[in-house]
Structures are given as structure tokens and as C-alpha cells.
Chains A and B, each alone.
Chain A
Amino acid sequence: MGAVVDMDAALFAGLCRLGDSTLVLGHRVSEWCGHAPVLEEDIALANTALDLIGQTQMWLGLAGEMEGKARNADALAFHRDVWEFRNLLLVERPNGDFGHTLMRQFLFDAWHQPMLTGLAQSRDARVAEIAAKAGKEVAYHLERSADLVIRLGDGSDESHARMQVALDTLWPYTGEMMTPDATDTALADAGIMPDLVGLQATWDGLVRDVLAEATLAIPDGGFMHKGGKQGQHSEHLGHMLATMQFLPRAYPDATW
């Protein structure tokens, strides 16, 4: 590397990557509230969103605390613009149909769970305790999304076709999760966050197993989008934030 990395800045960025990813996915999943195909799934989606938003409060809360500029989790969530968000591109993808939402969830969960297992071993105790807490919840997310991907993939002709389209569409957004930049490398070298390259084998194994059981074919071609972690987002995120941030921006003193 050679370049000197400011560790405080790296940790703040790393925490925003985690917190923004759970925030954006949590908001996306919450968009299903009242619209899911069956009541039980509506509740499951809302509960998943709730876990993710709860985890966001911890990650962004810690980010704000260590930044020392009097920004709490709410300030970071509601008062930053799109280019300041550091979430993965995968989680800002629109919901599509129910199968598409579940495929996005599974591809993320299969990364999120081993990531949290690694983070729970962090040399930074504050990071480790948040990860240990979140990891228990995310184990349930992964169990559910994997089960449903199998059921829908190995389901009817219609559900199989939709799941294959979802996989083909979302696949190029998965590479970013396991591609480190200088920030990721600095955090891994310091023992604060796990080595992302090391997560690849775990993710591959899990994803290949589940997709094989779901009778779905992994797309050919290695092109992967990137940029979300550095603040370069698709057009979808701005629209989502416009909805998510409207109230606290229009009525800054609102409480509820």
C-alpha cells in the first residue's frame, strides 16, 4: 500500500458501510409492509426490516460517537445526501417482485452472517459487541431467505423463472461485498474488521449449495459493479432517500 491511512477516518467509513447497508436494506424491505403476498410474509419482512434498522442504530450510533461531531444515528441517516452514503449497491436495488426481494436478501445475508462472525472477533470491543448482538438476528435472516430461495427456485415453472431472472439481475452487484479497497484493507490489517477476500470462500460455498438445491444456474461472466462503498450510487438510492428523509428534513424538529 504505502499510503498512510487515517485509522479514525477508516473506522468511520467502515462503520458507515455497515450501518448504511443495513439502513438502506432495512428501508427497502420495509417498503413491503402491507403489500406482501401473504400475511405471514408481511410480518416476516417487517420483522427483518426492524432488525436491520435496530442494527443501523448501533452501527451509525458508534460512527457518530467516534466521529465526535455531535452527529447521532438519526443525523447520519436523515441528514446526509446520497453521495455521502457508503452502502453496498446490492441493497439499494429496487424490490422488484417478492422473489426478487428474497434473492437480494439471500445474497446479502450469505455475506452478512459470516461478516458479523468475523466482526465479533474484532480487536475493537465496541465493534465486536454490536456484531455479536446482530449476528444472532442475522442467523435467522439467512435461514429464512435460504429456505425461501430454495422453495421458490425449486417451485413452479413460474416461480423458478422469476428466481432465475432475479439471480441474473442481481449477481453483478455481489462482487463489491468481497472486493476490498484501501479502507477495508487498513481495517483488516488492524484486526478491526475481517479480511473481505477471506469471506469469498464462505460466501461461495453457501451460495452455490443453496442455489444448486434451488435448481438455479449461477450466471456466466465475471463483470461486477462497484462504487457503493465509495459513494458512487445508482439512480435508485436518491429516490429512496427522498422518501426516507422527507419528514425529518421538511420538519426538522418533528418528534413522534
Chain B
Amino acid sequence: MVDKAQIWEWLAKVPDPEIPVISVTELGIVRDVVLEGDAVVVTVTPTYSGCPATSVINFEIERALREKGVAQVRMEQRLSPPWTTDWLTDAARDKLRAYGIAPPVDGTGATGVVAGRVNRLTGRAVVVACPRCGSEATQKVSQHGSTPCKAAYQCRDCLEPFDYFKCI
């Protein structure tokens, strides 16, 4: 019989299907692992409610555990507390940057008010540093990028477009 620590170790090697440099545990979406007799119950929380990667992630987790010889795997979903980018580990943030994705900047989540006005009123513009050259002279091209969790940015110094893993 395997122990829980072993399961967590295996899960730490299951890559996120969209951003394969980080694992599902580094992403912070594996909320619980419970052993029920011979069965392993893995509880996962979705990142965005419509993220198409969710079903792929469940499939990959189940496959990884079966490959390690776990015969009975049950996947469960938990919505609460809702996933937040705060759960991304520090190691994951470094890996994202090295991969060319700017990691989330704390406190920059949407508040439902007009972003431009918030910045004017607080005198605080969101600074997202370019993951390639480190310049802070960057601009948002679109609030939405290649996946639900990312926004599209461009660096005004090196001119490269890049993805920003937005705060939620």
C-alpha cells in the first residue's frame, strides 16, 4: 500500500497540459489526497470554470497514478475555496519566467471597476516586468491571452510580445 507522501510526489511530476514547465501541484490545483482502502481519491479545483484543460488534467493525473500501479483512482472536484494565483509556488513563478511567461503580480486582480481609473486614482500602475529582458516598460495588449489564465503583453524595450499569468 502506498502512502500519501508518495502520491503527492508522483503528482508533483504531472505537468500542466498548457504550461508543461510547471506541475499540477505547483499550480496549486490539487487540494487533497485521501486513501480509502485500496482507492486513492484526488481532489482537484478548476483554475477557471470553463478552462478546457480541466478534464485533460484529471485524465493525466489518473493515468500517472495508474502507471505507478495504483489500481483504483477516483477524481473529485472542489470549488471552494476558489483557486487563486496566490497558490502558485515560488518555484513555479521562477519556472514561468524562465519559460517566457510573466508570473502574477500580487494585488493586481480585477476588481470589477475600470482599470484605467483605478490606476489614475491610486497613482499605481500595474508593473509587469518583461520575462525576457526584465524591462518594466511593458504594456497590456489585451486582458485575454492564449489561455483563460493569461493576458497578452508587449515589452516596449525589447519589443517582444509575451504572456502574463494574470492574478485571480
Main DSSP-derived SS at the A contact region:
helix
Once the chains bind, are A43 and B112 in contact (CB under 8 Å)?
no
Q: In the complex, A52 Cα to B113 Cα: how many Å?
A: 19
Bound complex: CA of A215 vs CA of B80, how far in Å?
41
Flag whether B134 is at the interface (Cβ < 8 A).
Answer: no
| In contact, A143 and B49 (Cβ under 8 angstroms) | no
B binding-site residues for A, Cβ under 8 Å: 46, 48-52, 79-84, 109-117, 141-146, 148, 152, 166, 168
**A136–B146 CB distance below 8 A:** no
Please determine whether A44 and B142 come into contact, CB atoms closer than 8 angstroms: yes
Residues of B within 8 A of A47 (CB): 144, 148
* A129 and B82 alpha carbons, distance in the complex (Å): 8
Task: Choose one: B50, B79, B112; the contact of A50 (CB below 8 Å).
Answer: B50
Q: Which stretch (A54-62, A160-168, A220-228) binds chain B?
A: A54-62
A-side residues, CB < 8 A to B, are 40-41, 43-44, 46-48, 50-55, 57-58, 109, 113, 125, 128-130, 132-134, 136-140, 142-144, 146-147, 150, 206, 210, 213
Residues of A near B83 (CB, < 8 A) are 133
Tell me, in angstroms, the Cα distance from A129 to B49 when the chains sit together: 12
Contact present for A210 and B114 (CB under 8 Å): yes
Task: State A41–B166 Cα separation when bound (angstroms).
Answer: 17
Among B50, B52, B82, B144, residue most surrounded by chain A Cβ atoms (within 10 Å): B50
Residues in chain B near residue A133, CB distance under 8 A: 46, 49, 79-80, 82-83
Known: A50-B52, A53-B50. A137 touches B168 (CB 8 A): yes
Given A40-B144, A129-B79, A140-B143, A54 and B114 touching (CB < 8 A)? no
CB neighbours of A140 from chain B (8 A): 110, 143, 166, 168
Among residues of B, the one whose C-beta sits closest to the C-beta of A144 is: B143
Which of B46, B114, B142, B152 contacts A143 (CB under 8 A)?
A: B114
Report the Cα distance A201→B18, complex, angstroms: 41
Pairs A-B, 3 closest by C-beta atoms: A54-B50, A54-B49, A40-B142
Residue pair B148, A50 in contact (C-beta under 8 Å): yes
Q: In the complex, what distance in Å separates the CA atom of A191 from the CA atom of B117?
A: 34
| Cβ contacts A to B, 8 pairs, < 8 Å | A44-B143, A50-B51, A50-B148, A52-B50, A130-B79, A136-B168, A150-B116, A210-B114
B112–A51 CB distance below 8 A: no
- Besides A43-B144, A132-B80, A138-B112, 18 other A-B contacts (C-beta < 8 A): A40-B144, A43-B142, A53-B50, A54-B51, A57-B50, A58-B79, A113-B112, A129-B82, A132-B82, A133-B49, A134-B49, A136-B84, A137-B168, A140-B166, A143-B114, A147-B116, A150-B114, A210-B114
Are A41 and B142 in contact, CB atoms less than 8 angstroms apart?
yes
In the assembled complex, the Cα of A213 lies from the Cα of B114 at a distance in Å of 11
Residues of A within 8 A of B113 (CB): 142-143, 146, 206
Expressed in whole angstroms, the minimum distance between the Cβ of A244 and any Cβ of chain B is: 16
**Chain A residues within 8 Å of B152, by CB:** 40, 43
When C-beta atoms are compared, the residue in chain A nearest to B168 turns out to be A136
**Chain A positions within 8 Å of B145 at CB level:** 43
Q: Using Cβ atoms and an 8 Å threshold, which residues of chain A touch B142?
A: 40-41, 43-44
A51 partner, pick from B80, B114, B148, beta carbons under 8 A: B148
| Minimal beta-carbon separation of A198 from chain B (angstroms) | 17
A58 lies within 8 A of B143 (CB): no
